[in-house]
Amino acid sequence: MFGYVRPLRQELKCRDFDLYRATYCGLCRCLRRRYGPLAPMFLNFDFIFLTLLLWDPEDEFVPCRGRCHANPLVKKPMCPDSPALELAADESVILTWWKLRDSARDDGVVGGLPARVLAAGLYPAYRKAAERRPDFDGVVRACLEELSHLEEACCPSLDRAADAFARLLRGAAPSGDGRSRVLSQLLYHLGRWIYLADARDDLEEDRRAGRYNPVSARYGTQGDDEALKATMDQSLDLMGAALQLGEFGCRTPVLENIIYLGLPLVQRAVFDGSWAQIKKQKIWSNRQ
Amino acid sequence: MRDPYSVLGVSQNASDDEVKKAYRELARKYHPDNYQNNPLADLAEEKMKEINEAYEAITKQRSGGGYQQQSSGGYGGYTQQRSYSAGSPTYARVRTLINGGDLAGAERLLYEVPQKDGEWYFLSGSIAYRKGWLDEAMQNYTRAVQMDPNNMEYRQALAVMQQRGGGYRPYGYNNTVDGMDCCTTMLCLNCLCGGGHC
């Protein structure tokens, strides 16, 4: 995954920031416990959003204190293990592994070497996760296969290409649950948005490398930022509508912050090219 | 039925004004206009019905029980089914399938139509929209309006897509990023939570 899905910290209330951070630390710990020391290295913000979405809305935020593995001298507030956290952890490992596989294939023999090494390292964890969530693994496999066929065929339809990735992410919603319709819709448009943001981000690079890019296939090599922005905004609106119709309990404010403020800002940064710097920021404190 | 006070999210001792305010806010949130053509529109409708009933129950209870509320000052009476002037029986069937959620069936049926007119593009756009294929929905709606500029239904569908931020947003999120000035945006960009491990 890509790390596009972030909250806007300035607008988060302290308690929501604590919740967000404790979820981050909780997921990190859960990944380590379930999949060993390598898995938490792939933790990113998209997975935190997924965790927050999947969490049982009835569950209050009651952090426990746990030792941070990156800095064992301090104890930090962490969300305790829960079925949602475990589901998010399993799905994170599956997504990460397939993403690595994908980059290994795309970047060629030499360029794809790091991804291949990492994918090999993560393979035992992936096997375990795929055994635990065979349905999701199947969806990811099928959708990525479809996506690579579409990319090979230089699919001119923006929606068709984005649809394959959107359905992949939609697979992360638990089925049969009363909330599954809302979650499916939200995750579908999140997937669509991420795919389009990533395509816009790679536009220049793909043009130089002569690779397929869905945005240039639809709008020409220069892209059309206005039209792309309009269609991405529509996905954001539909995510907002789904959020309002679902129950997310005490996690609602931070989810609202991400959808209404974080994602539009990231989108803007992707469009004006400042995203490359921003995504590297490593700040939790107020230092800028 | 659930306790009407918990439906509106107020306590039993809330004043009439507080009840009304809570009701208004929820009605704003679940108003059908925010979910036009949205595949989740039925959920919004259910919620709207629930809060209308809760508000009515409370006003009835507070006015002594015998009072028959004619109109709860409420938002209601909205139905998804509008009377369409369907051009052909095939189009009418396509509409029924779309409303019933059978998008694949609607699509198949639509592709059998030999002549593509404004309504064809409109229906094709509606299917695309329901599927989440927003770019194609936009193209099809635009085409429908071009072919039949006087049709209000097509124009409205296109307007709903073009109108940004028309949906509900809670207080505090009404300012979209576009409304911020340049400096604020730069400041905000720096505040997006950064990467790294905890």
Banded model confidence at residue B82, pLDDT cuts 50, 70, 90: very low
**Binary contact (A7, B47; C-beta < 8 A):** no
Mean pLDDT of the region A2-31: 91
ipTM for the predicted complex comes to 0.84
Question: Is the pLDDT confidence value at B76 over 60?
Answer: no
What's the Cα-to-Cα distance from A2 to each of A42, A129, A201, A271, rounded to whole Å? 10, 20, 11, 16
Q: How far is B92 from chain A (nearest CA, A)?
A: 26
CB A194 within 8 A of CB A172: no
What pLDDT, on the 0 to 100 scale, is given for residue B164?
A: 66
> Which of A76-85, A127-136, A276-285 has the lowest average pLDDT?
A276-285
Between A273 and B2, whose confidence is greater?
A273
What pLDDT, on the 0 to 100 scale, is given for residue B77?
A: 43
> Which of A63-67, B31-35, B121-125, B179-183 has the lowest average pLDDT?
B179-183
Write out the two tokens for B32. 């059908």
By residue count, chain B amounts to 198
**Binary contact (B135, A233; C-beta < 8 A):** no
Banded model confidence at residue A201, pLDDT cuts 50, 70, 90: very high
Question: Is the pLDDT confidence value at A284 over 60?
Answer: no
What pLDDT, on the 0 to 100 scale, is given for residue A1?
A: 58
Burial of A232 (0-12, 13-18, 19+ CB in 10 A): buried
Helix (H) or strand (E) holding A64: strand A64-67
Between B61 and B176, whose confidence is greater?
B61
The percentage of chain B sitting over the pLDDT mark of 90, rounded to a whole number, equals: 41
What pLDDT, on the 0 to 100 scale, is given for residue B72?
A: 46
Residue among A43, A68, A283 minimizing CB distance to B194: A283
What pLDDT, on the 0 to 100 scale, is given for residue B196?
A: 39
Question: Is the pLDDT confidence value at B188 over 80?
Answer: no
Mean pLDDT of the region B47-75: 74
Banded model confidence at residue A63, pLDDT cuts 50, 70, 90: confident
Average pLDDT, chain B: 79
- Closest residue of B to A181, CA-based? B40
Banded model confidence at residue A64, pLDDT cuts 50, 70, 90: confident
Scanning B100-181, the segments in alpha helix (DSSP H) are: 103-111, 118-131, 134-147, 152-162
Banded model confidence at residue A104, pLDDT cuts 50, 70, 90: confident
**Distance linking the first and last C-alpha atoms of chain B:** 45
Q: What are phi and psi of A65, to 5 degrees?
A: -100, 135
Task: State the Cα–Cα distance between residues A48 and A1, nearest whole angstrom.
Answer: 11
Banded model confidence at residue A288, pLDDT cuts 50, 70, 90: very low
pTM: 0.88
Q: How far is B4 from chain A (nearest CA, A)?
A: 18
- Output the DSSP codes for A175-213: SSSTTHHHHHHHHHHHHHHHHHHHHHHTHHHHHHHT---
CB–CB contacts below 8 A, A to B: 142
Question: Is the pLDDT confidence value at B191 over 70?
Answer: no
E strands, B31-129, where? none
| Beta-carbon contacts of residue A144 (< 8 Å; ≥ 6 apart) | A98, A102, A164, A168
Banded model confidence at residue B2, pLDDT cuts 50, 70, 90: confident
Write out the two tokens for A29. 């710990």
Mean pLDDT of the region A48-54: 95
What pLDDT, on the 0 to 100 scale, is given for residue A273?
A: 87
Residue among B133, B177, B193 minimizing CB distance to A159: B133
Mean pLDDT of the region A125-150: 95
Residues of A in contact with B198 (CB under 8 A): 21, 24-25, 28, 68, 70, 76, 284
**Binary contact (B189, A264; C-beta < 8 A):** no
- Closest residue of A to B166, CA-based? A237
Question: Is the pLDDT confidence value at A224 over 70?
Answer: yes
**Closest by Cα among A11, A17, A240, A2 to A103:** A2
Write out the two tokens for A184. 């499916």
What pLDDT, on the 0 to 100 scale, is given for residue A286?
A: 41
Task: State the Cα–Cα distance between residues A188 and A272, nearest whole angstrom.
Answer: 25
What pLDDT, on the 0 to 100 scale, is given for residue B1?
A: 63
CB B40 within 8 A of CB A237: no
What pLDDT, on the 0 to 100 scale, is given for residue A32?
A: 93
Average pLDDT, chain A: 90
Mean pLDDT of the region A202-225: 90
Q: How far is A188 from chain B (nearest CA, A)?
A: 8
* Residues B85-106: tens digit of each pLDDT: 556 888 999 999 998 889 999 9
